[in-house]
């Protein structure tokens, strides 16, 4: 059965309250450890956090077998370090095994304590701390921060700043031809290895087949339409493009049909997982074959909503925010709302949504946990007449610039001293976004869910 933290200290173990953390260090590790130390020393906060951990990490398996499992405090420390540093499990393992201050925070003595953490042990335990639990713990931490500010005679009224940014996915620049190549190489390799492992004939030369398909893919990349004024030359180039693409699509369709036959053979032998994987790559290849055929050979326009920008991370969106030097970004939108004390009060992943669709929900959901929120500032992208009206019902002061020409009433509102002052302070949210990206939210992690579900996000502990 899991316990929060062993009550009996071992010989040589340093009390968490007495751990020395260099206050002048500019590294990110001491900052995270200082926050963990404060949570543990503050009894009320510690009890609330431990209660959440006990509820979420209770394991029936451990109770049935009698194995103790990792202490909840250790899981919490390791998960906070991973999230706060934006590191992977390899770096987390190195910190847990070699960093003296981290080991003291985990409850190890400074000498003759040879306990080491295996990589799989860290993955199995830290992954149990789900985003919804982290969000609840984050709420406890933010409330503790607000209590400290109240003791310093700060105003209890919260003034928020709301903005969105693009969490980029780790994908290459998408074209319909290279997406088809991605699907074909995964299809051929998956089918070839599955047949190789199960003694099925038909894919003995699958590595050679990949090379042949890649040659055709490279030819489609190099072929170009002509800009010549001579109509005959332009027509010859068009025919050359069509011939090259048709050869690429014919070979692609051949391997798709062959993959379907292999899929039936694997299904008959009961290899469910391999059949599911093949189904994913076959569906992706068929979609790209159809779109290339319509765009190049039939000269049709593909609607934007039918396009996919990565077969590995299908949640990737093509986002144009109008930034200088950044014509487009590939990823997902994330909206955050922080207060004047730089605490992140709420965040929302904007699946297929724009700023003006989430403005009201962001404020309403934030006020459920923080009813002190009475003012919030936005960019023009969040504006709509409905948002102005609904936000006015929720907030005392709505700092939402209007798009287009201003009426006399709008001018009086946007040229007031309070509105201008809040607009000047709104740009501070960009530093919060930069800090999030520095802490690991510059790239969206890809989860091995085979495209069946969307990934989860949490901005907890990063405020």
- Percent of the chain past pLDDT 90, that is, above it, reads 52
- Percent of the chain past pLDDT 70, that is, above it, reads 90
In this prediction, residue 150 carries a pLDDT of 79
Q: What is the pLDDT of residues 185-227, one digit of tens each?
A: 999 999 999 999 988 888 999 999 999 999 999 999 999 888 8
pLDDT greater than 70 at residue 128: yes
Helices 206-222 and 176-198 cross at an angle (nearest 10°) of: 180
pLDDT greater than 60 at residue 310: yes
Nearest to 214 by CA among 255, 173, 174: 255
Residue 111 confidence class, pLDDT cut points 50, 70, 90: low
Residue 416 confidence class, pLDDT cut points 50, 70, 90: very high
Residue 115 confidence class, pLDDT cut points 50, 70, 90: confident
Residue 317's contacts (CB-CB under 8 Å, 6 or more residues apart) are 309, 330, 331, 332, 333, 352
In b/e form, how buried is each residue of 70-99, taking b as 16+ CB within 10 angstroms? bbbbbbbbbbbbbbbbbbebeebbebbeee
Helices 272-292 and 231-268 cross at an angle (nearest 10°) of: 160
Instruction: Give the strand pairing for 317-319 and 329-338.
Output: antiparallel
Name the least confident of 85-89, 130-134, 251-255, 448-452: 448-452
Mean pLDDT of 299-320: 91
CB 288 within 8 A of CB 180: yes
pLDDT greater than 70 at residue 130: yes
In this prediction, residue 449 carries a pLDDT of 40
pLDDT greater than 80 at residue 6: no
Count of residues for the chain? 463
In this prediction, residue 452 carries a pLDDT of 36
CB 9 within 8 A of CB 15: yes
Mean pLDDT of 414-427: 92
pLDDT greater than 50 at residue 448: no
Name the least confident of 28-37, 54-63, 115-124, 390-399: 54-63
More confident residue, 18 or 155: 18
3-state secondary structure of 2: coil
In this prediction, residue 455 carries a pLDDT of 46
Beta bridge partners of 349: 334
More confident residue, 441 or 272: 272
In this prediction, residue 318 carries a pLDDT of 92
Mean pLDDT of 96-103: 91
Mean pLDDT of 72-98: 90
Name the least confident of 225-229, 256-260, 283-287, 293-297: 225-229
pLDDT greater than 50 at residue 153: yes
pLDDT greater than 60 at residue 458: no
pLDDT greater than 90 at residue 390: yes
In this prediction, residue 192 carries a pLDDT of 93
In the structure encoding, which two tokens stand for residue 292, read together? 């290339």
In this prediction, residue 293 carries a pLDDT of 94
């Amino acid at each position: 059965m899991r316990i929060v933290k062993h009550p009996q200290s071992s010989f040589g173990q340093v009390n968490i309250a007495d751990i020395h953390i260099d206050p002048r260090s500019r590294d990110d590790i001491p900052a995270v450890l200082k926050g963990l130390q404060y949570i543990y020393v503050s009894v009320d906060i510690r009890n609330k956090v431990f209660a959440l951990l006990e509820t979420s990490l209770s394991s029936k398996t451990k109770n049935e077998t009698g194995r103790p499992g990792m202490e909840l405090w250790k899981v919490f420390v390791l998960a906070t370090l991973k999230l706060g540093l934006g590191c992977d499990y390899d770096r987390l393992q190195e910190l847990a095994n070699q960093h003296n201050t981290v080991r003291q925070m985990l409850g190890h003595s400074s000498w003759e304590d040879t306990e080491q953490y295996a990589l799989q042990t860290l993955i199995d335990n830290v992954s149990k701390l789900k985003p919804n639990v982290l969000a609840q713990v984050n709420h406890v931490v933010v409330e503790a921060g607000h209590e400290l500010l109240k003791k310093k005679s700060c105003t209890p009224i919260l003034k928020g700043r709301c903005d969105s940014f693009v969490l980029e996915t780790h994908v290459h620049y998408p074209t319909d031809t290279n997406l088809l190549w991605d699907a074909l190489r995964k299809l051929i390799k998956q089918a070839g290895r599955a047949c190789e492992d199960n003694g099925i004939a038909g894919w003995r030369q699958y590595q050679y087949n990949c090379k042949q398909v890649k040659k055709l893919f490279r030819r489609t990349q190099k072929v170009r339409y002509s800009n010549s004024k001579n109509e005959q030359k332009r027509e010859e180039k068009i025919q050359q493009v069509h011939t090259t693409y048709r050869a690429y699509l014919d070979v692609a369709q051949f391997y798709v049909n062959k993959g379907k036959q292999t899929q039936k053979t694997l299904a008959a032998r009961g290899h469910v997982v391999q059949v599911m994987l093949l189904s994913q790559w076959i569906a992706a290849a068929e979609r790209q074959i159809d779109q290339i055929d319509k765009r190049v050979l039939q000269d049709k326009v593909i609607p934007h909503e039918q396009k996919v920008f990565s077969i590995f991370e299908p949640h990737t969106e093509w986002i144009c925010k109008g930034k200088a030097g950044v014509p487009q970004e590939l990823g997902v939108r994330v909206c955050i709302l922080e207060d004047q004390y730089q605490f992140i009060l709420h965040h929302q992943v904007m699946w297929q949504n724009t700023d003006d669709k989430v403005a009201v929900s962001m404020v309403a959901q934030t006020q459920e946990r923080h009813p002190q929120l009475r003012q919030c500032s936005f960019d023009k992208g969040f504006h709509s007449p409905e948002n102005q009206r609904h936000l006015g019902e929720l907030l005392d002061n709505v700092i939402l610039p209007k798009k287009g020409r201003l009426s006399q009433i709008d001018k009086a509102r946007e040229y007031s001293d309070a509105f201008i002052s809040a607009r000047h302070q709104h740009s501070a949210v960009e530093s919060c976004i930069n800090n999030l990206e520095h802490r690991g939210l510059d790239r969206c992690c890809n989860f091995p869910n085979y495209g069946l579900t969307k990934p989860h996000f949490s901005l907890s502990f990063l405020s």
